[in-house]
Amino acid sequence: MRDSYEDSPAEARELGLRRLSRLTWRTAQLGTLATVGFAIVFARTAPAPAANVQTVPPGSPAATTPAPAAGQASAKPQGLASTRPGPRAATRPSSQRTVQATTAAAKPSSAPAPSPAVSHTLAPPATTPAPAPKASSPAPTATSTSHGGG
Amino acid sequence: MPAGTLGRHTSNALGTFVTLLVAEPGGLDAARDLLTAELAAIDVACSRFRADSELSRACAAGGRPVPVSPLFAEALSAGLAAAELTAGDVDLTCGRALIALGYDQDFASARQFTGSLRQPLAPAGGWRKVVLDPVRQEVTVPEGMLLDLGATAKALAADRAAATIAAAIGGGVLVNLGGDISVAGPPPAEGWLVGVADDATFDSKAASVQSSQEIVIRDGGLATSSVLGRAWRRGDARLHHIVDPRTGMPARSCWRTVSVAARTCVAANIASTAAIVRGERAVTWLGELCLPARLVRHDGGVVTVADWPAPGGQGPGSRAPDSGA
């Protein structure tokens, strides 16, 4: 490395500029490396955003007025029930609102739950309830009442 | 349905009757053990009447975050979902309202007292103020607020137990917790024959109920809500347990009983309870959701929604809940 500046001032100036350029380049490289390093460390250690159920807008209009679905309901007063009796295995439309109530982190570990991420939706059953057989039917095996508090 | 070939177990838990049916009787013992464990777990997590329950501890924490079990977090999620899906018509923060109405201990005890109400009515505390952090597994209940997971926790227990049992024994199962029914796994060939009761005919002395209609279900859940089933008196007032969150009073509904079938028992329970609170609006609401439902007016008139089956040819017969052969 040259330390004497007995050459012309222009040459000395040129040498200084080259040194400055190299220094700037090395500094930029170090800065880039540091930035990438910080990003990696942050990505590995920062907590995931909490899936709080309250982040879902409550009481939105869709909760009370969901989009009309196929198979429009029939309302038949005074015991004149549905005119489409009989068991059907048709899959019902699934246009209902769903509330993603918990994440997998909230899944109980003590027993298998119905799904890994428990979501709640007001969806109809896969199979529409059917009328009981008419003749010589045995007693029902279960009874739905409100005595459970529902 | 060859009911005689089903495995059957009956008991009492969570303040009501419990019925377990399995399509393969050989799996009954294992199924019963799983059900018993599930009911015990839900009771210690969600009971409003146990000081040592997680629910009681969360409500008594003075507004501080409380670590909770995965099961309680799931039950609270169901309660919060019920509030959101019904725009607040089913509100888990009605605990104080129920106490003000005299439902301050388990129902069998609470109905014994008929004195006048001593506390002012208390509207719901506001479900949006309850914070569940499922990542940290913490719950924050504002100070002074009391939660009542009541029916949704019971329905959740039915869903969880049915799913667990079906997975364990590899066969069809029906779990009935006080009338909230969940089925899972392959059903019997002719489905599950279920009586749908109108609690106007419930005989508390004989613990018998008259089925208004009998239907067959194959999957999902079925729940019935009524202003008659859990009713009591305080002075001259006749009260029931379905509270209008906005007033803190028992809901004044045009329906005395609503039964709903849905994908899960939790969903069926949410819908049937909300239908009582919503009154006439419930018919349109349930129809738009395509939820098969049967709604009974106070005069006995019936409205059916979304392909709820027509009444069969058989007449109703009086029988104890789930006393089928």
Residue B260 pLDDT grade (very low, low, confident, very high; cuts 50, 70, 90): very high
In chain B, what is the greatest distance between 2 CA atoms, to the nearest angstrom?
Answer: 58
Positive or negative, the CA dihedral B172, A150, B104, B236 is negative
A23-79 pLDDT, tens digit each: 888 888 888 888 888 787 776 655 443 333 222 233 333 332 233 333 333 333 333
A136 in B contact zone (CB under 8 Å): no
Instruction: Provide the 10 A C-beta neighbour count for residue A61.
Output: 9
Using CA coordinates, name the residue in chain B closest to A123.
Answer: B263
Structure-model confidence comparison of residues B95 and B181, the more confident one: B181
Instruction: Decide if B78 and A120 are in contact by the 8 Å CB cutoff.
Output: yes
Instruction: Decide if A147 and B273 are in contact by the 8 Å CB cutoff.
Output: no
Give me B166's structure tokens. Answer: 């079906």
The β-bridge relationship of strands B255-262 and A142-144 is unpaired
Residues from chain B that touch A59, judged by Cβ atoms under 8 A, are 84, 87-88
The CATH code that applies to domain B3-306 is 3.10.520.10
Residues B110-121: what's their mean pLDDT? 64
Residues B140-151: what's their mean pLDDT? 88
Share of residues in chain B with pLDDT > 90 (%): 54
The pLDDT value given to residue B22: 95
How far is A132 from B312, CA to CA, in rounded Å? 6
A95-122 pLDDT, tens digit each: 444 554 333 333 333 444 443 345 789 9
The pLDDT value given to residue B222: 96
B172-228 pLDDT, tens digit each: 999 999 889 999 999 999 899 999 987 655 554 445 567 889 999 999 999 998 887
B120-137 pLDDT, tens digit each: 676 766 888 999 998 899
Tell me if A78 sits within 8 A of B301, measured CB to CB. Answer: yes
Structure-model confidence comparison of residues B245 and A108, the more confident one: B245
The pLDDT value given to residue A101: 37
Share of residues in chain B with pLDDT > 70 (%): 79
Closest CA to A126 of A90, A86, A98: A90
Residue where the block lists tokens 């819908």? B271
When CB atoms are compared, the residue of A72, A86, A150 closest to B272 is: A150
B83 in A contact zone (CB under 8 Å): yes
Whole-Å CA distances, B173 to B21, B166, B221, B233, B272: 6, 6, 12, 37, 23
Tell me if B31 sits within 8 A of B20, measured CB to CB. Answer: yes
